[in-house]
Structure 1
């Protein structure tokens, strides 16, 4: 199967771990991603009978919803754009309340793809890398649209998604914001992590969770199965921002 590349990048994306994660996915009927982000695992794995992608970021979920239903119009609007600092700042300063859902999706896609580390805050540039060009090409969203066609796209809290979709044939892939790691834009502290742990402890289905290797995260999930992995991430400009981090893959199977 051809692995699709997500149309955006996100902090903590699973590009380097997705092959290993996909190999660990058990048999299931319903596949659920609680924290979708860029969707590296979803876009890389075989289709499941039923698929659900969820994220609390309204703009992110609006983007994928619009790709599902209006990909050609998004491509048409971006076809004559180019990577420019002034354009980036203009999109960044738009008041989204006055934009249509399609315009919001175009704005979000532009900001994420043309910013450093996919954060959407600062215009990304380099002397040995080209600007992210694929969003300006025609017919690049077709495969993404097809992949989303039979997927439920949700914008709810993770606990509500677990309550709605948990069955003995459901598999949850969980990639929450890492503990004590800044830069996600949403509050996800110890309280939220413990709520997630308590919800996962009592599900009927199966789960695979990825989290940074930390004394507390090990303690929270001590009753489950662990796999230790090392992953290299770039979190800032320069070599000092490129290093290996220890992570855990945790399962209840």
Structure 2
């Protein structure tokens, strides 16, 4: 299993083994809300694969890894973790950057920030700074994994309309309902639109969502599996808690 180059809120590192074991036979694999891509990088390759996210900087990162990973590694090789560098990258106007420089900026901010949010410089007294992005060769395996993948930057409903077939499988991990911390807003209306699209889906899907009375009601006609996951960006063990999540399928 490959490890994604970044972390994202709600990432499926703790659930991906369970999810991968539940994936049915398919020809076309689609991730509607890619994030860090824990499931995609962990599963076996499908005949056709599609990754999608509405975050332009995130998708640009994976496009640049796919096409220009040697140059990204060359430019990061002699970089280091520093607050001034972090703030400089943070305050860049991305409109004046090349796509490669945008990818480097995004990767640096995510890897050197607290909780992978890209907002505040991450530091500590019990662990070293994240070094992964500074090592040569670290992106090569990811580039090979992305080689035959379609990379989309569209709304989820457009991706469903374009790729839904009887032989398509969709892994769906939307922003959780009534949960803060996400960069892009995902309203109740968005959740209901997603639910309605899935009701009429030709292919198969697996959706992960937080356990909430409304989410249970929305998907009551599908198969629901309850799981508990340990999530926390806190530095102390006492703040780590188990949260209930739902794995919902139409098969």
| TM-score above 0.5 | yes
Tell me the TM-score normalized by structure 1.
0.98
Q: Distance in 2 between matches of 1:51 and 1:188?
A: 24
Could you tell me which residue of structure 2 aligns to residue 13 of structure 1?
Answer: 11
Deviation at 1:130, TM superposition (A): 1.4
**Counterpart in the other structure of 1:229:** 227
TM-score by length of structure 2 reads 0.98
Residue segments in structure 1 that go unaligned for 5+ positions in a row: none
For 1:118 and 1:199, how far apart are their aligned partners in 2? 31
Equivalent position of 1:122 in the other structure: 120
The number of aligned residues is 251
Deviation readout 1:6-37 (Å, 9 max, x if unpaired): 00000100000000000000000000000000
- 1:82-101 matches, within 5 Å, as 82-101=80-99
Q: What 5-or-longer segments of structure 2 have no aligned partner?
A: none
Q: 1:184 aligns with which of 182, 185, 191?
A: 182
> Aligned partners of 1:238 and 1:93: how far apart in 2?
30
Deviation, 1:116, is 1.1
Secondary structure of 1:172's match?
Answer: strand
Which residue is equivalent to 1:250? 248
Residue 43 of structure 2 is matched in structure 1 by 45
2:162 corresponds to:
164
Deviation digits for residues 185-220 of structure 1, max 9, x if unmatched? 111021110000000110100000000000000000
Aligned to 1:140: 138
1:202 to 195, 200, 216: 200
Determine the structure 2 residue equivalent to 1:219: 217
Aligned partner of 1:55 in structure 2 is: 53
Shift of 1:240: 5.3
Following superposition, the deviation at residue 237 of structure 1 comes to: 4.2
Once the 2 structures are TM-superposed, how far is the Cα of residue 92 of structure 1 from its aligned partner?
0.2
Query: Which residue does the alignment assign to 2:64?
Result: 66
- Report whether the alignment pairs 1:24 with 2:22: yes
Deviation by residue 1:32-58 (Cα, 9 ceiling, x = unmatched): 000000000000000000000000000
Deviations 1:50-97 (A, max 9, x none): 000000000000000000000000001100111111110000000000
Note the aligned Cα RMSD (angstroms).
0.8
Residue 102 of structure 1 deviates from its aligned partner by 0.2
